[in-house]
Amino acid sequence: MAEQDFDLFVIGGGSGGVRAARMAAATGARVAIAEEYRYGGTCVIRGCVPKKLMSYAAHFHEDFEDAAGFGWAVEGARFDWARLIGNKDKEIDRLEGVYERLLSESGVDILRGHARLLDAHRIEVGERVFTAEIVLIASGGHPVFPAGHGWEHAISSNEVFHLDRLPPRVAVYGGGYVAVEFAGIFNGLGAQVTQVYRGAQILRGFDDDVRDTLAAEMVKKGIDLRVETTVDAVEKKGDELRLHLSDGTQHETDLVLAATGRRPNTGNLGLAAAGVALTDDGAVKVDDYSCTTQPNIYAVGDVTDRIALTPVAIAEAMAFVDTVFRGVPRAMDHENVASAVFSHPPVSTVGLTERRARERFAAVDIYRSTFRPLKHTLSRRNEKTMMKLVVDRATDRVLGAHMVGLDAPEIVQGVAVAIKAGATKSMFDATVGIHPTAAEEFVTLRQPVPEPVREQVAE
């Protein structure tokens, strides 16, 4: 075979693709990367980073209210949507520049345009054709709209970051992490929020105590949460939108946000021509080493059907580079991956839910605590924190940790290290807590909840 233009060609400039390109180039490989939108991908440009900045903004209204209990008088506070969006845009522009600079400094050829495979080794970008020994697909995913009438009047999470004003009324359709996060954001910024979800409870797949606790706290904050309900149609009536719901009612709103799922970006990539097979759900099919059905083509991140989280894409990219360019084959370990939902209050979790643990182990012990955090003893806010450990009774190993409440993601990140290392409940018990913190509750839980446990919420 004639020498290729590049040793590695990466399709997609998100977190996984950029990390793979930079690290492969560091081994001396000739690397190119192509991105048709903006470098940084979903997470940096229109996902977790701008969303968390908006979540911070939404928390301030409660902070101003809570300040009174600590002797502060905050008067005249007002929210400026345009200023928030402008400042957010500046930060996203800065981060995009950082990604491009890191690629350039690593010696990666940066291309702009849609990349499409002509075969296993040829890639078309615009009117140019390149060849590569190895191809990495890291094209990410995109939000999808529900089937039905009138969804052209709604927006997805892509558009929500660029609204020209804060809508007075917002309807969020969906019950996953994107839906609950934006419901909390809009509610915190002052909009009247209704969230509609077809399931029995929000956050399907999370621990049931997490689901129930968060739902209760969201309702306390004023979100109109309607479960076991679907949106049959969206109708535009003048300047407002009308939802036709499955319970026979109608609901008027100013904005409808569809947050009902995401799909891998596999369209128009030439995958069939290159011999790359897809799963039944339309994701790129890969083995444990991220290799597709074409031996020289790999895929990482949301375009595959594994865990759709930015740190997972980065970890998969590092495993790919080790395997292909450093001669140290290894698979990404997808067990005990911690995650967070930046809802109001936030959620964080690692390991098995109670339901999954009971399915896999003969007997488990559940340690659970619900309490008012110290901050709210003076603010008088009626917000509860829930913390939970799931333990294998036979081995004493901690199988899962779950939290709803202030600083949950910051706390659970540390707990995730212990669970990844195989810590037992006795190790948690032997750890001295930091007082006074909420985090210490994870090492002071002493009595398991009585058996039998409460009836599980249906998924």
Nearby residues of 451 by Cβ (< 8 Å), 6 or more positions away: none
The one-letter amino acid code at 223 reads: I
Query: What type of residue is 431?
Result: T
B/e letters for 35-58, b = 16+ CB within 10 Å, e = fewer, are bbebbbbbbbbbbbbbbbbbbebb
Sign of the dihedral defined by the CA atoms of residues 236, 239, 245, 248, in that order? negative
Q: Which of 142, 149, 153, 435 is catalytic?
A: 435
Q: Is 372 left (phi over 0), alpha (psi -120 to 50) or beta?
A: beta
Could you confirm whether 435 is annotated as catalytic? yes
CA atoms within 13 A of residue 148's CA, in its CB half-sphere:
20
Give the orientation angle of helix 177-189 with respect to helix 48-67, to 10 degrees. 40
Report CA-CA distances (Å) from 66 to 19, 58, 72, 355, 378.
41, 14, 9, 36, 8
Complete DSSP assignment for 432-443: PPPSS-SGGGGG
Residues 250 and 242 sit within 8 Å (Cβ to Cβ): yes
Helix (H, G, I), strand (E, B) or coil at 161: helix
Interaxial angle between packed helices 81-105 and 15-26, expressed in degrees from 0 to 180 and rounded to the nearest 10: 20
Q: Which residues contact 140 (CB under 8 A, 6 or more apart)?
A: 12, 14, 41, 42, 264, 265, 301, 302, 303
User: Encoding tokens for residue 120?
Assistant: 């296993």
* DSSP for residue 303: G
Work out the angle at residue 111's Cα, subtended by the Cα atoms of residues 40 and 300, and round it to the nearest 5 degrees: 50
Amino acid found at 272 = A
Question: 10 Å Cβ neighbour count for 120?
Answer: 18
Task: Please choose, from the candidates 8, 5, 11, 4, the residue with its C-alpha nearest in 3D space to the C-alpha of residue 299.
Answer: 11
Rounded CA separation 118/129 (Å):
9
Nearest alpha-carbon partner for 442 in 430, 453, 455 = 430
Residues taking part in catalysis: 435
